[in-house]
A and B are shown apart, each in its own frame.
Chain A
Amino acid sequence: MSELMTDRQIDRSKMQVSDEVAIEISNMNKWYGSFHVLRDINLTVNQGERIVIAGPSGSGKSTLIRCLNALEEHQQGRIEVDGTVLSNDLKNIDKIRSEVGMVFQHFNLFPHLSILENCTLAPIWVRKTPKKEAEERAMHFLEKVKIPEQADKYPGQLSGGQQQRVAIARSLCMMPRIMLFDEPTSALDPEMIKEVLDTMIELAEEGMTMLCVTHEMGFARQVANRVIFMDAGQIVEQNEPEEFFNNPKSERTKLFLSQILGH
């Protein structure tokens, strides 16, 4: 899937990277038991960047972005997200989580709540937004992901693509400054991938800072401003998409690209 499955023109006017640092990771290490999953990660992400993280399975790319909102704990090094340093302090963790939206491979919608309730829950309980305002905002974002008519249904009644768009809307309702995507299209049928990617492109066009673990190389080529290639828990190569795809430097990257783009 080397080509992006969309025919729309991408508006790059608002896709601007500012000087403001959104995320700073320095000398970060993580172990699962005695297994060294992430090794000496250093990464600075500026506000407005759209980063695609690629790599073979087991390379630690999901673990990396899950460390950014403390779904996984790192053992060494420093992570600073939006000016807050990640520590064991629960208040810091909750603050970062409410500023950083996350979209999962398996959506993780709440099946016992309606679509609208899924979207209003966190704003009402975490942000203490009045219910009416939260509902208006939820409808606004549901319209943005083009499923306002499903607001009263339950997640189980929606298709995979629709569920993933609800998950994106649910994150957006918290007005995050950074969005993390953990293989958002990997569990979807091909025709549903397009609708989710379209939603993500729209987000990028509005200048959202995005970190995206994905195998959609078309998306990486057309939307990302930086592609990071990981293998064996390390950042092996990072570059602008044009250079990354046309002129990879490391042997490992070349092999990977030849495998996923080769057919």
Chain B
Amino acid sequence: MSDIGFVRTEMLPEQDPPASEVGIIGWARHNLFSSWFNSILTIASFTAVYFVLAAIVPWILSPTWDGTSLSNCRETLAAAGHGDAHGACWGVIKERWVQLIFGFYPSHLYWRPVAAFVLLGAALAPVLFSDRVPSKMLIFSALYPFIFPWLLWGGTIWMPIAALAGFVIGGLVYKFAAEALSTLLGVILGVAAALVWWMLLAAPVSGALDSILPIGIEAVESRKFGGFMLSVTIGVVAIACSLPIGIVLALGRQSDLLIVKYICVGFIEFIRGVPLITLLFVASTLLNIFMPPGTNFDIILRVLIMVTLFASAYMAEVIRGGLAALPRGQYEGADSLGLNYWQAQRLIIMPQALKISIPGIVSTFIGVFKDTTLVSIIGLLDPLGLSNAIRADANWNGIVWELYGFIALLFFVFCFSMSRYSMYLERKLQTGHR
């Protein structure tokens, strides 16, 4: 029998890893040169990146910020020793960036969209960063939807107050009807009261109040809206409205009530089956045919409604995916504790379903935001529409890349922020399950 007995008499001390495993050398060995094939790929990639940058960087770094026209830019480039057209003509951006952002909004009123979007940040903060911003700020977030259109479109201050009053009236009717009759009747009566107020009474009442006490700011017509401001306005409204509508549609689609279910299914499938451009054309032309003659239904409002409906249908399907991913046990757990349908949805189901759907929801948001450029097709002057208008100027005829590049940068900043925020949110909501 061989001797297999072994006893360690001395424990081994810890040693530093070899130099080829740590630090920059170790990192490069692992990530860039782990085999001969990967080494070739690394070198080829670096070469490709070099050529791309070598072409783009000098173009971007062209000294044409003071150019007054395309030909003037070319002269500057030639004088500076750049190749003939090898350099951007940034003069157009310097001259027209204000227009690209504000469209034809009256320049002495630029403070209003600026204020609207600064306040938008303040209104979003308690929603987006609920753990860092005091929750009392939510009161401002709730009021913001009434401040936002008033700042942009102007007019009498009584209009947003009348709109807000509709919610108060609806709420009060619900409260009394729910106590006196039943919850369902309360909801129906409350909604009906608010609708009657908005449709029939809000405009005359605010008009009357305005004639008694005229407080207001200068009104700006919708056709003066344009540029990136228009894109953000449409994008923000569509995003903010599509999420709640999408949730309701997704729940409706799963409902046991057949009529509710089929209305939701029909709506979602119809909207998803039709291109957004078609809906926008309907909004810009066909809708007028169905309206009583003389009705002035604001074009931006029509577009907002169409884009919101379009986004809601997609949102509903994304959220349905989240609902489907929840185990049945979550519903049963909530049921077994005696939570009613809405409590279970609000406290148990939706927080989890929405969390699962965050990547899909944010993708839809980003898609909607970028789709707002389609409004240029029906004649609204979003940044793309404006870029055509700018090119129609004899000075800038022939400019392409600079304008599109600038517009792309604006969109990228917004879309990339949304994407990063969604990743932050996913990390924050991670509670260690799965």
Partners in one complex: yes
Residue ranges of A at the interface with B (Cβ–Cβ < 8 Å): 69-71, 90, 94-95, 97-98, 100-102, 104, 106-112, 121-122, 125-126, 154-157, 170-171, 174
Nearest 3 A-B pairs (CB), nearest first?
Answer: A156-B433, A98-B338, A108-B333
Q: How far is the CB of B257 from chain A (nearest CB, A)?
A: 13
A97 to B340, CA, bound (A): 10
Known contacts A106-B329, A111-B352, A112-B351: A97-B431 contact under CB 8 Å:
no
Any chain A CB within 8 A of the CB of B348?
yes
Task: Find residues 330-372 in chain B having any chain A CB closer than 8 Å to their own CB.
Answer: 330, 332-340, 343, 347-348, 351-352, 355
Q: Are A122 and B337 in contact (CB under 8 A)?
A: yes
Total cross-chain contacts (CB, 8 A): 76
Q: Which residues of B are found within 8 Å of A97, using beta-carbon distances?
A: 335-338
A174 to B336, CA, bound (A): 11
What's the interface size class on B, roughly? 20 to 34
Known contacts A71-B332, A104-B332, A108-B330: A98-B337 contact under CB 8 Å:
yes
Residue ranges of B at the interface with A (Cβ–Cβ < 8 Å): 327, 329-330, 332-340, 343, 347-348, 351-352, 355, 429, 431-434
Q: Are B338 and A154 in contact (CB under 8 A)?
A: no
Q: Are B335 and A71 in contact (CB under 8 A)?
A: yes
Q: Which residues of A are found within 8 Å of B339, using beta-carbon distances?
A: 121-122, 125-126
Known contacts A98-B338, A125-B347: A104-B431 contact under CB 8 Å:
no
Q: How far is the CB of A65 from chain B (nearest CB, A)?
A: 11
Q: Which residues of A are found within 8 Å of B434, using beta-carbon distances?
A: 111, 156
Least CB separation from B351: chain A residue = A112
- Across the interface, A110 reaches (CB within 8 A) one of B330, B338, B429, namely B330
Q: Are A112 and B340 in contact (CB under 8 A)?
A: no
Q: How far is the CB of A125 from chain B (nearest CB, A)?
A: 5
Q: Are A154 and B433 in contact (CB under 8 A)?
A: yes
Q: Which residues of A are found within 8 Å of B347, using beta-carbon distances?
A: 121, 125
Q: Are A104 and B340 in contact (CB under 8 A)?
A: no
A-B contact pairs, 17 of them (CB 8 A): A70-B335, A94-B338, A95-B338, A102-B336, A104-B332, A107-B329, A108-B327, A108-B329, A108-B330, A110-B334, A111-B433, A111-B434, A112-B352, A121-B339, A126-B337, A156-B434, A174-B338
